[in-house]
């Protein structure tokens, strides 16, 4: 109400009481009353509008970027009502304050590795001293194994940068058995006993393979929406791994050329600790109703420290035929691939978010198996397997963003 209107409300009754200009005073009072009622009505409408919009207020509106927010004055952005999040990135990210996301995943993967063949079956009619001409090696029977991964993500305030740290673990222990006439691929004992190029055979073989797999990722993400429905998030960081393997082969009934039967054991330990740089790209396609398609790929180059040892022992006076140990370093590439989908939902005025996802994931490590194979009984000649390790399978998980 203006100052003129306030003065009129006090003066006009005095003129009306004095008598003259009664008609004029009455009209002026009627006009002022109508103006007051209109002002009161406008104020009530404003209050009702604000009350209706408070249901859609987003406290972290300053975190958003886009035409829907840039058109709002800065001092009003914290209380700006959101009626159509498709015009803003609020449905995808929320910048402008400290945020943390915690995640957990269940892994159901199957590891596979080259260089784990332990026996070569042969026909019973094959005589000792002759390599079978048509046969296939017998490998370790790898199995599906459960694992887990936990992670934490921190969003820098008023930035589009975030840090993500995760740790994944999977252990595997498998055994394989083969019976019948066979050639023990890991044992140097038959070479020593056969002599003159002759090779002895075993009647059965057992193989035990163990894996303890730890992988750590530290990612620095640039989280910027590409458009309303697509997100492309490049990242870089560090990748570390502790990949420890034990390979125990036991051969029974090795027929010695010099006479007698030998039982032979070969125990190999192949440990690799590595760290290096990684880079990659994360992508999301927003389908609507909280659903998204996900994709993630990365490449890493790590520096690995290997410790490899092997002990071959048996009976008949050959208690310690081979006792081998070596420490060395290698530069190794690694790759990680994920494809799947997710569903998420915001709550608490879009300040918190829950999400679940599922998909297929594969990790590949080059030249992880460095187990030695001796190829000459009279000279210390050996070859390193230099075979690759791969893991692939189902990844199920969820995250909570607050």
Handedness of CA 184, 189, 195, 201 (dihedral sign): negative
> Do 194 and 232 share a domain, yes or no?
yes
Q: Total structural domains in the chain?
A: 2
Are residue 74 and residue 125 in the same domain, yes or no? no
pLDDT for 276: 98
Last residue of a domain, one of 90, 116, 133: 90
Q: What is the pLDDT of residue 137?
A: 85
If asked whether residues 129 and 76 sit together in one domain, one would say: no
Is residue 118 domain-shared with residue 73, that is, in the same domain?
no
- pLDDT number for residue 237: 97
Mode of pairing for the β-strands spanning 372-374 and 382-384: antiparallel
Residues 375, 275 share a domain:
yes
Domain boundary among 38, 66, 90: 90
Q: How far apart are CA 300 and CA 213, in angstroms?
A: 17
Domain that includes residue 320, residue range: 98-401
Ranges under pLDDT 50 in the chain: 12, 14-21, 43, 46-47, 50-96, 129, 192-198
- Here the CATH number for the domain that contains residue 321 is 2.40.128
298 and 278 Cβ atoms separated by less than 8 Å: yes
Burial call 78-99: b when 16+ CB within 10 Å, e when fewer: eebebeebebbbbbbbbbbeeb
Residues 86 and 106 grouped into a single domain? no
Q: Are residues 256 and 345 in the same domain?
A: yes
Residue 111 pairs in a beta bridge with: 391
53 shares a domain with 7 = yes
Q: Are residues 137 and 279 in the same domain?
A: yes
Owner of token pair 């859609």: 56
Whole-model pTM? Answer: 0.72
296 and 354 fall within a common domain: yes
Give me the pLDDT at residue 302, please. 98
pLDDT tens-digit series, residues 23-38: 555 566 566 656 555 5
pLDDT at 34 (0 to 100) = 64
Task: Look at residues 174, 177, 178, 243 and name the one whose alpha carbon lies nearest to residue 210.
Answer: 174
- Could you report the per-residue pLDDT of 349-365, keeping only the tens digit for each? 777 889 999 999 999 99
Q: pLDDT tens for residues 288-342? A: 899 999 999 999 999 999 999 998 887 655 555 778 899 999 999 999 999 999 9
């Amino acid at each position: 109400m203006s100052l003129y209107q306030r003065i009129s409300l006090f003066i006009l009754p005095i003129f009306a009481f004095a008598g003259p200009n009664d008609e004029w005073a009455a009209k002026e009072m009627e006009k002022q009353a109508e103006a007051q009622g209109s002002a009161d009505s406008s104020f009530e409408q404003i209050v009702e509008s604000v009350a209706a919009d408070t249901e859609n207020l987003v406290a972290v509106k300053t975190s958003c970027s886009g035409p829907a927010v840039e058109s709002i004055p800065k001092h009003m952005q914290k209380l700006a009502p959101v009626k159509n999040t498709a015009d803003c990135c609020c449905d995808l990210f929320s910048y402008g304050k400290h945020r943390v996301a915690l995640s957990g995943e269940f892994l159901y993967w199957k590891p596979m590795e080259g260089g784990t063949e332990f026996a070569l079956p042969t026909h019973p009619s094959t005589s000792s001293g002759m390599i079978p001409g048509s046969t296939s090696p017998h490998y370790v029977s790898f199995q599906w194994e459960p694992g887990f991964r936990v992670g934490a993500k921190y969003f820098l305030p008023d930035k589009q940068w975030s840090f993500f740290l995760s740790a994944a673990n999977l252990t595997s222990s498998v055994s394989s058995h083969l019976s019948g006439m066979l050639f023990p691929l890991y044992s140097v004992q038959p070479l020593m006993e056969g002599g003159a190029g002759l090779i002895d055979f075993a009647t059965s073989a057992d193989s035990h393979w163990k894996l303890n797999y730890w992988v750590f990722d530290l990612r620095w993400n640039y989280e910027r929406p590409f458009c309303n429905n697509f997100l492309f998030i490049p990242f870089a960081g560090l990748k570390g791994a502790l990949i420890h393997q034990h390979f125990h082969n036991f051969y029974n009934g090795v027929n010695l050329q010099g006479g007698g039967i030998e039982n032979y054991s070969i125990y190999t330990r192949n440990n690799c600790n590595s760290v290096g740089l990684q880079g990659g790209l994360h992508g999301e396609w927003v389908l609507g109703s909280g659903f998204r398609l996900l994709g993630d790929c990365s490449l890493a180059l790590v520096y690995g420290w290997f410790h490899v040892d092997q002990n071959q022992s048996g009976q008949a006076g050959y208690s310690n035929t081979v006792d081998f140990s070596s420490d060395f370093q290698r530069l190794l590439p690694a790759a990680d691939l994920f494809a799947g989908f997710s569903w998420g939902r915001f709550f608490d005025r879009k300040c918190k978010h829950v999400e679940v996802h599922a998909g297929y994931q594969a990790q590949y490590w080059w030249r992880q198996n460095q187990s030695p194979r001796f190829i000459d009984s009279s000279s210390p000649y050996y070859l390193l397997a230099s075979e690759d390790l791969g893991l692939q399978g189902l990844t199920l998980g969820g995250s909570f963003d607050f």
